[in-house]
Amino acid sequence: MEAKFISYRKESYSEIETIIRSIEHLDYMNKRRTVRDFSSKPIPKQIIENIIMAASTAPSGAHKQPWTFCVVTNPELKSKIKAAAEEEEYESYNGRMPKDWLEDLSYLGTDWHKPFLENAPALIIVFKKSYDLINGQKRNNYYVTESVGLACGFLLEAIHYCGLVALTHTPSPMNFLIKLLERPENEKPFLLIPIGYPAENTMVPDLKRKVENEVIKFFK
C-alpha cells in the first residue's frame, strides 16, 4: 500500500523566544510530583477523554497505536482492584522484593497498603497490545513497549497540564487486571495510574532531581 502524505507546518520562534519557552516549560514540568493523597472530587468525563486522546498522539511503531486506556470510576470495581493489588503487593513486600529494593523504598514510607486505588476518583489502566485482531486474524504490532511508554509519558504531562495529579503504580504481577476488566487475549496491563485532584493536606517527599551534568552528555 502506497503511503499518502499531506503538507505539515510547525510554528517556530526566534532563538530568544525558544530559550524563554524552554525555561518556562522546564519550570512548569519541575512542579510535577507523584501524589498518593487524592481528593474525592470527581473529574468530568470530558477531561479524562481529552487527556487520554492527548496521550494517544504519541508516536508508535508503524503508527500501530498499540494501546488501550481503561478508565475505572465505579467504586465497587475500584475496591476489587485495590484488594487484588494489595494481595500482590503484600507478597512483594514480604518476600519478592530483595533487601536493597526495600531499603531504596524505605525513605518514601510506602508499604503494601494502597488506599489511593479507592480514594482517587478515577483509575486509568493502560494496556499494551502485542498484536491486533482484525477479522479474527493476528496483525503484529512493533516496538510495543516503547510506544506505550511514550503514550504514558504524554498522558502524565496532560494530567499535569490540566491541574490534576497522578501516581504511576505497577503491582506485580498485574494479570488480575485482565480478568477484572475482561480484556481480550491480545492486551496486557502496562501501567495503573490513579488520577484526581490533590487532597487538601497533600504531602510529598522532599526529593531532589538530578542536575544537568548527571543526565546530559554532549558529543561535539
Domain extents for the chain?
34-199
The string of pLDDT tens digits covering residues 173-197 is 999 999 999 999 999 999 999 999 9
pLDDT score at 184: 94
Q: Look at 69-78, 97-106, 124-133 and tell me which has the smallest mean pLDDT.
A: 97-106
Q: Is the pLDDT of residue 112 over 80?
A: yes
Q: Place 7 in a pLDDT band, splitting at 50, 70 and 90.
A: very high
- Can you name the residues that pair with 77 across neighbouring β-strands? none
Q: Reduce the DSSP state of residue 2 to 3 states and report it.
A: coil
Mean per-residue pLDDT, 52-63 = 97
Average per-residue pLDDT for the chain: 95
Distances (CA, A) of 88 to 23, 73, 177, 182: 41, 22, 12, 19
pLDDT score at 107: 86
Q: Which CATH architecture has domain 34-199?
A: 3-Layer(aba) Sandwich (3.40)
Q: Reduce the DSSP state of residue 81 to 3 states and report it.
A: helix
Q: Which residues of 138-176 are buried (b: 16+ CB within 10 A; e: fewer)?
A: eeebeebeebbebbbebbbbbbbeeebbbbebebeebeb
Cα distance between the two ends of the chain = 41
Q: Reduce the DSSP state of residue 45 to 3 states and report it.
A: helix
